[in-house]
Amino acid sequence: MTPEPPFRVLVVEDDRAMRQSLVELLEAAGGRVTDGARAERAAGVLEHFAADVILSDVRMPGMTGLELLRSLRTEVPVVLISAHGDIPMAVEAMQDGAYSFIEKPYEPRRLLSILRHAAEQTRMRDSNTRLKARLLDLSGLTRVFIGETKVVQGLRRDILALAETPAAVLIQGETGTGKDLVARALHDIGPIAGRPFVAVNCALLSPERFVAEMFGVAGGPDGRIVQADGGTLFLDEVCACPPEVQARFLRVLEEGAVTPEGAAAPVPVHVRVVSATNEDVEVAVAEGRFREDLLFRLNTFVLRLPPLRERLDDLRPLLMHFLQDLAALYGVAVPDMTADDMAAALAHPWPGNVRELRSVAERRAMAARHGGGSLAEAIAPGAGDGHGPDALRVAVAALEREMIGRAIVAHGGRMDDVAEALGIGRRTLNEKIVKLGLDKDALL
């Protein structure tokens, strides 16, 4: 196996002799180097060269090194080098995010040391990113947050970031959006993964049981709060927490101690609280069912999980993911998704969200085991005529509306390009736009 080079460097330097000198120095030190004379081309080079660090001259024709630094949409560290460097320029470079700034003539050992340290930073970041991605997969979140819509990408980033903090997190979302999986991931991915994770469904406990279960009883088993000491306490359906218990729980959070029923002294505890609700918690506060001061203790950070109907671009990859898993489970080939199948999926409102989608996929895989089935039948089993010709026409129209709308947006309203992308004539496209009631101006 070829050993890993100590660094991979993109050298950007307009002076040919200086560029060649830098390349020879870095390659002699075992580095892998790609070089170029123009900063404008750096972004394109980075698409196929996984640089650990960029070494760039400051003063160059066209784009300068400082302008390159500001324009890059990457976390690759940039080291700037210049024969005309001065303190103000160095300060400006560091303020703009440069990893380091050195002047020519440079001292080779110092330059190599800076590049090695920058490369180590890049590789550590990349390693952490890969580890966190693996942990996300192991946590089960990939079963819910497959897809590349902006909201899903943002949620994955937020979950990874919040997993590193001890702050309280409130997860809001409809039934079936994956609140319990997110709560578990916040624990499993973070630094307290080896500590207890204790889940309490507040809707299933009466006020009497809530006191005993949460706070414990002297001489009896520990309450849930003590069980979670050093780890995470997950309060599911937190708005169902009995009002008479909320003040007592607030004191636990404020004082860092819990007093079991009948006990003479409090027990110190340190827990991270993650809570979840499918209600609008602000409404619960306004109606007097939930204490505002307790809410302020629980909502340091808020994660809103979108319903499936708000992320329809993720519908097909999610569905195929479930079908592949379930087809393997039932020992059948993965069912094909026809245009009619996707039309039915897009027309369905998915009130049960991702949880419902998985159940539909399981019914479809089970039907495939018996040699038949369709997604429409899996969505509404036993519906009979409810998915007859009229319902199918509605579903197909929804699919056409979705596809044409996306094409219009993707091609900036250039209707000839839209028609070509969809594989239909311009006249047919115009007829469909009128028939489907699409408003091109509203889409753009």
Task: Dump pLDDT digits (tens) for 406-416.
Answer: 888 888 888 88
Residues 318 and 354 in one domain: yes
Domain ranges, residue 111:
8-127
Residue 331 φ/ψ region, left for φ over 0, alpha for ψ in the -120 to 50 degree band, beta for the rest: left
CA distance 188 to 159: 11
φ/ψ region of 156 (left if φ > 0, alpha if ψ in -120 to 50, else beta) reads: alpha
Task: Indicate whether 154 and 290 sit together in one domain.
Answer: yes
Q: What is the pLDDT of residue 2?
A: 47
At residue 416, the 3 state secondary structure works out as: helix
Q: Is the pLDDT of residue 128 over 80?
A: no
178-207 pLDDT, tens digit per residue, is 899 899 889 988 888 888 999 999 988 887
Residue 419 lies in a domain: yes
Report d(CA 381, CA 387) in Å as an integer: 10
Residue linked to tokens 């239909």: 424
Handedness of CA 45, 47, 49, 51 (dihedral sign): positive
Average pLDDT over residues 6-21: 91
Task: Tell me the C-alpha distance between 393 and 267, whole Å.
Answer: 64
The answer to whether the bond into 105 is cis (omega within 30° of 0) is: yes
Q: How many domains does the chain have?
A: 4
344 and 302 share one domain: no
In a domain, 254, yes or no: yes
Asked if 49 and 160 sit in the same domain, the reply is: no
Tokens of 64: 């300068």
Taking the complete model, does pTM exceed 0.75, yes or no?
no
| Structural domain contains residue 412 | yes
Residue 273's DSSP bridge partners are 233
Rounded to 5 degrees, what angle do the CA atoms 87, 93, 99 make?
A: 110
Residue 47 has a pLDDT of 83
Which residues, 6 or more positions from 325, have their beta carbon under 8 angstroms from its beta carbon?
none
Q: What is the CATH number of the domain that holds 89?
A: 3.40.50.2300
- The answer on 399 and 321 residing in a single domain is no
Do 273 and 204 lie in one domain? The reply is yes
Which of 347, 372, 387 represents a domain boundary (last residue)?
A: 387
301 in the same domain as 321: no
For the domain that residue 241 is a member of, what is the CATH number?
3.40.50.300
- The CATH number for 324's domain is 1.10.8.60
Degrees to nearest 5, angle at CA 58 with 57 and 62? 100
Q: For all residues of the chain together, what is the average pLDDT?
A: 85
CA 123 – CA 54 distance, rounded (Å)? 14
Six token digits for residue 77: 């560290």
Question: What percent of the chain shows pLDDT beyond 90?
Answer: 33
User: How would residue 22 be classed by pLDDT, with cut points 50, 70 and 90?
Assistant: very high
Mean pLDDT computed over 241-254: 89
Q: Of 306, 339, 370, which marks where a domain is finished?
A: 306
CB 268, CB 230: distance < 8 Å: no
> What residue type is 138 in one-letter code?
L
Q: Judge whether 242 and 254 are in contact, CB under 8 Å.
A: no
Do both 30 and 117 map to the same domain?
A: yes
Strand pairing of 78-82 and 32-36? Answer: unpaired
* 134 is a domain residue: no
Last residue of a domain, one of 306, 332, 357: 306
Flag whether 233 is in a domain. Answer: yes
The answer to whether position 297 is within a domain reads: yes
Q: Answer yes or no: do 178 and 104 share one domain.
A: no
| Residue 211 and residue 285 in one domain | yes
Cα dist. 382→304, 345, 376, 377, 385 in Å? 34, 17, 10, 7, 9
- Per DSSP, helices labelled H in 256-379 are 281-286, 292-298, 315-330, 339-347, 353-369, 375-379
Residue 1 belongs to some domain of the structure: no
Question: Is residue 87 in some structural domain?
Answer: yes
- In this prediction, residues 256-272 reach a mean pLDDT of 90
Statement to judge: residues 22 and 111 lie in one domain: yes
CA distance 91 to 101: 9
Q: Are residues 161 and 277 in the same domain?
A: yes
Tokens 């009995």: give the residue.
242
Provide the pLDDT for residue 257.
92
10 Å CB burial of residue 437 (0-12, 13-18, 19+) is exposed
Question: Does residue 60 carry a pLDDT above 60?
Answer: yes
